A and B are shown apart, each in its own frame.
Chain A
Amino acid sequence: MTFQQPELDTSPKVSDEIRKTTCYMCACRCGINVHMKTDENGEKQVAYIEGNRDHPVNKGVLCAKGSAGIMQVNAPSRLRAPLKRVGPRGSGEFEEISWDEALDIAVGWLKPIRETNPEKLAFFTGRDQSQSFTGFWAQNFGTPNFAAHGGFCSVNMAAGGIYTMGGAFWEFGQPDWDHTKLFMLFGVAEDHDSNPIKMGIGKIKARGARVIGVNPIRSGYNAVADDWVGITPGTDGLFILALVHVLMKAGKIDLDYLSRYTNAPVLVDASDGPNKGLFLRDADGKPLVKDRNTGELTAFDKPGVRPDLSATHEVDGVTHRPVFHMMADRYLADEYAPEAVADRCGISAKRIRTIAAEIARVAFDEAFELDQEWTDFRGEKHAKMIGRPVSFHSMRGVSAHANGFQTCRALHVLQILLGTVEVPGGFRFKPPYPKPPEAHPKPHGKVTCNGPLDGPHLGFVHGPEDLMLKDDGSPIRIDKAFTWENPMSSHGLMHMVISNAHAGNPYKIDTLFMYMANMSWNSSMNTRGVIDMLTDKDESGEYKIPKIIYSDAYSSEMVAYADLILPDTTYLERHDCISLLDRPICEADAAADAIRWPVIEPDRDVRGFQSTLVHLANRLGMPGFVNEDGSAKYQDYADYIVNHERKPGVGPLAGFRGTDGSKAGRGEVNPDQLDRYIENGGFFVSHIPDEASYYKPWNMAYQNWAVEMGLCDAPTPYLFQLYSEPLRKFQLAAEGHGERQPPEHLRARIKETLDPMPIWYDTDQTGNEGFTVNALTQRPMAMYHSWGTQNAWLRQLHGRNPLYVPTKLMREKGLSDGDWAKVSSPHGSITVPVMEMAALNENTVWTWNAIGKRKGAWALEHDAPEATKGFLLNHLIHELLPPKGDGLRWANSDPVTGQAAWFDLKVKIEKAAAPADLAESQPELPPIKSPVGTGPKDLTWKVGK
């Protein structure tokens, strides 16, 4: 018999139509091609999802979540209609109601609040990708109480970056993947900008460039790192400052860069009094430097000036010194020598020196030039762009500590000292960044009944005068953001809202309105406590938080704790804009934004949440949403996206503006804008000119381009702030200067932690005696930032989560894989299965976050592994630190920004039982009733025939 094989059609039809939109399975916001096939009923169904090759974010690739989108849009956990609570809170007993009834109820609650006291509404959104819209809504409602989830996620990272250099890591910037030769990655969690980082790592790996990972856990990106530094959690700042010490001492810093583009040469007032530590400024308020050419005191930006890093300025016997002198004093001190920090960081002094030496070698010996002319803000022309091919990036880990703000600043100071920010081979901003703190709004909180707030809620404070305090000194905001407890809380403090509202401190609220925020589960510290607060009643039998409205697309754990549910659509059934006004999807070489549009229509009685907000605003007659005659400006969110103008010619979408769609950035409203986006693959890109591609904060070509694009209204070149004046202003207040004074108990802490130059301090260890093991969490890449794990494909990858325990601890505690261990913290204890991990800091345990699910949620069966074996570490973490005996309860958060200090958790661990002896992870919470039932048993998915 000769060899033979069957005939095979190798060119089958792939789909009937491709609809291009934007993914929403995480914060990455990749472009996707949704392949549609016609089913037996003649309706187009989603058949397959792949990455869009033309898209600026993912260039065709797509992660596991993105490809699993089909299981998300068909998930059995999708809510089907508006729900009104009929049983007690937490029972999960609801009845389905009409949208009219739902909106009537909501308006019935919100209208009196707006009329009498808008602060009684707390409106907080979770994994919201429309903050410029939700914020606009809240501002026009008039409540000061709005924020998204940044406060418990990333504010240290964002604020540390913006206050230091006008931009941060993540979607605000990226390493120059094409030129970098040494990439150093800090922090736990394989998160933000995940596909671009994977693509970037792939690029530099293909070139054989070196990756150094600094992370207690060698998973994910750290697994492919050429060198792994298994640092002790919370000590990154100390390690970074030791690198700074060694590099400065060896003179391996970019003096030319420091003198031109940073405030290192800016003179600091040394005279005692209310200006001590502030910059010497000229009459125009411009910081002063000494010109090395002339020796004259000069404004930093004067054409031709050569700012002197070394020269001091003497007035009346007082010597004013430049920032760089102060840095030398501080960082050359022995306390930052590798030998002094090695033990605390868990990294040998030799290793610290080797890493510093490698950084120095690559930054200076492998420097290169690009033949690209450019002109700086002082009018000086440069023939070339100098590459310093060392780049840094940081994950959430370093920022989730109570010293995270200063650690993030330290990391930026390190890269600035090397002269590797906004140069070839280094770190590059993505538009609309660079954007210094002065270019951002300040926080606003002035309430007027029946009127809008006086400005945007969130922003960047520049001193005590910008704090959100009432005349009596009490907080304006329910979350106590922008108060002395956390003056620079630029993202708000979502994690404090429920506990403050429950305590009636600073005041009681009437309605809590939340969106996509699983506060009764994995998005809260102290999950059990939060559940109790949500269900707690006062003496009169009323709930302490009287009314709760919640919007979600899925039957999450939070649904059961709301009184009114406004069901949202899935991401393929909605309009959205990923706007330059918000967190855009730009690349270092281009500005870009994108839309979502309904590639399928909902088969349930649900509406996109943003459209629901428009409907509510119209019924409430909110300014910004209704015309003078009371008629609605916008019918729904799509209408808003196209027709809203934040300022003349600048709207949510930058592309295809102008009546014929030919304008970018600025331009009149184009009624066909959404169609043009759809034709273009769901996104818009505008490339930055070549001469503007680096040195953006100081490059006039970039500054002018940014103005043209509507990113700013005038060129705003600025200096990187190695020394941060706003921090110093808070210190001055704590030292007794100025009218606004901090409460006594906070003075010492403000003086210590709001240091204008990066410092490292150990986080508060009160109550941690006997709890010596660091405990961390991260989301698995296949689930990072995705909303829910009920996805039928993804839950097979991560259906339960063991506690990963380092080999040494496993041996010490007599543990084997699968054994149960009791893990306790000063706040509580859990009993969970363990698994050994060798590639792990020897005093750290960790687990995948948010795998554990409550029985009854997410349409899972009660015996699903997520509900039986899965667990949350949240039960061990409290939003407050243990009592110190001073009668006060201190927040478990960063004293600068209020960022939740998830990763300061310390635990102890002991063997509980063998695998067979325990049925379920502890604590075991009672089931909640599912408003959607449970999913089907088996899936054999196929749309085409």
Chain B
Amino acid sequence: MTELPQLTDRKLGLVIDLDTCVGCHACVISCKGWNTENYGAPLSDQDAYGANPSGTFLNRVHSFEVQPDAGAAQLIHFPKSCLHCEDAPCVTVCPTGASYKRAEDGIVLVNEDACIGCGLCAWACPYGARELDQAAGVMKKCTLCVDRIYNENLPEEDRVPSCVRTCPAGARHFGDLGDDTSEVSKLVAERGGMDLMPEMGTKPVNKYLPPRPKDELASDIDVLAPFLKPVAEEPKGFMGWLDKALDKLPGGAK
């Protein structure tokens, strides 16, 4: 089980649009809610109303500032959860076979009944995608809502991960990244979807769409200047222009 499947039939995953994510944390809490009530042990919280509240979350939104060589600093909100890597190091290190990657869709899961809570999979994950639940003593991670995406008790349109369903800005997309014709694959191709830490060789399935270039308006001044050509320099001249312009309006009488 701990071995990775040679090939998965599909590569289900998320495409996260960093150009659109406003950092609202909706996905974080929706995930917390769904996964507290569903798959495996609830996501517990320690010291919930005290000095050091700390709970298990499968999805967290970071934020980074980028200071380009020239121009204003940028702020980028950055949701991060399991990337369901093709070469998932978290799976192969597992001593019990609790961690596995599904052959049919590539989802990386933890079989909580087999998990001894050694934490080694979390050590092996470069992305911080796994958290050992302090109450249950088992490793928790994003399941890509495997209990939603095929769930016949849900309307078909709701068979997407909870984070995708809830994202107000539509910054999260779900689909088969193994299928070049899928919407998510097209997005990745169009927008230059990228891998996190490619040097780790994990081959993440989840992709991130980079923010579009920012603050470019200032460089367009030469193109835009004609739009501001004054119609007159003096208020008097402006009135002259106005009269002519009014005549040119559709329905203008004279």
Contacts and interface: CB of A to CB of B under 8 A. Distances in A.
A358 B24 contact: no
Contact of B151 (A14, A47, A255, A310): A14
B13 to A, nearest CB: 17
A1 B75 CA distance: 49
Contact of B20 (A35, A201, A309, A942): A201
A195 B214 CA distance: 24
A943 interface: yes
A285 interface: no
B72 A792 contact: no
A230 interface: yes
A796 B53 contact: yes
Interface stretch (B116-124, B194-202, B229-237): B229-237
Contact of B152 (A11, A60, A793, A940): A11
Nearest to A324: B242
B22 interface: yes
Interface string A904-945: 000000000000000000000000000000111111111110
B6 A205 contact: no
Nearest to A937: B47
Interface in B219-254: 220-221, 224-225, 227-232, 235, 238-239, 241-243, 245-246, 249-253
B166 A202 contact: no
Nearest to A30: B168
A157 interface: no
A940 B135 contact: yes
Interface centre among A14, A325, A939 (most CB of B within 10 A): A939
Nearest to B163: A67
Nearest to A13: B153
Interface stretch (A244-252, A602-610, A681-689, A884-892): A244-252
Contact of A53 (B47, B100, B157): B157
A476 to B, nearest CB: 43
A167 to B, nearest CB: 24
Contact of A350 (B151, B168, B218): B218
Interface stretch (A215-223, A521-529, A590-598, A746-754): A215-223
Contacts of A226: 212, 214-217
A481 to B, nearest CB: 35
B76 to A, nearest CB: 7
A884 to B, nearest CB: 37
A259 B253 CA distance: 14
Interface string A282-310: 00000000001100000000000010111
A794 interface: yes
Contacts of A795: 53
A11 B150 contact: yes
B24 A357 contact: no
Contacts of A14: 151, 153-154
Contact of B26 (A61, A796, A799, A940): A61
Interface residues of A, number: 122
Interface stretch (A410-418, A432-440, A860-868): A860-868
B22 A221 contact: yes
A203 B168 CA distance: 10
Contact of A223 (B26, B77, B230): B77
A63 B24 contact: yes
Contacts, number: 328
Interface string A45-57: 0011111010000
Contacts of B57: 796
B166 to A, nearest CB: 5
Contact of B246 (A12, A61, A310, A868): A310
Contact of B29 (A208, A230, A793): A793
B182 interface: no
Given A205-B17, A865-B51, A839 B73 contact: yes
Nearest to A10: B150
A698 to B, nearest CB: 15
A839 B111 CA distance: 43
A778 B48 CA distance: 25
Contacts of A944: 37
B224 A361 contact: yes
A413 B217 CA distance: 24
Interface in B97-120: 100, 102-103, 109, 111, 114
A202 B171 contact: yes
Interface in B112-155: 114, 135-136, 146-147, 149-154
A14 B220 CA distance: 53
Nearest to B28: A64
A794 B57 CA distance: 12
A390 interface: no
A935 B51 CA distance: 12
Contacts of B229: 250
A292 B246 contact: yes
A139 B62 CA distance: 49
A251 B22 contact: no
B50 A861 contact: yes
A207 to B, nearest CB: 11
A329 interface: yes
A859 interface: yes
B231 A250 contact: yes
Given A68-B33, A250-B227, A936-B49, A203 B170 contact: yes
A347 to B, nearest CB: 11
Interface in A61-107: 61-68, 70, 76
Contact of B220 (A212, A329, A358): A358
A310 B33 contact: no
A353 B23 contact: no
Nearest to A217: B75
B249 A328 contact: no
Contacts of B169: 198-199, 201-202, 205, 224
Nearest to A200: B169
B36 interface: yes
B32 A358 contact: no
Given A201-B20, A226-B216, A309-B242, A941 B100 contact: no
A385 interface: no
Given A64-B26, A354-B218, A838-B67, A255 B245 contact: yes
Contacts of B36: 941-942
A320 to B, nearest CB: 15
Contacts of A361: 224, 227
A23 B230 CA distance: 51
Contacts of B23: 219-220, 223, 781
Contacts of A365: 227
Given A198-B169, A250-B228, A228 B72 contact: yes
B49 A190 contact: no
Contact of A227 (B45, B166, B217, B250): B217
Contacts of A58: 168
B193 interface: no
A41 interface: no
Nearest to A196: B168
A311 to B, nearest CB: 9
Given A11-B151, A782-B24, 5 more contacts: A11-B153, A48-B34, A324-B242, A864-B50, A941-B36
Interface of B: 1, 3-6, 17, 19-26, 28-30, 32-34, 36-38, 41-42, 44-55, 57, 63, 65, 67, 72-77, 100, 102-103, 109, 111, 114, 135-136, 146-147, 149-154, 157-158, 162, 165-171, 211-212, 214-218, 220-221, 224-225, 227-232, 235, 238-239, 241-243, 245-246, 249-253
7 contacts: A5-B1, A8-B146, A51-B166, A224-B211, A228-B74, A228-B215, A796-B45
Give the 6 A-B CB pairs with smallest separation, nearest first.
A935-B49, A838-B73, A357-B224, A198-B168, A202-B170, A202-B169
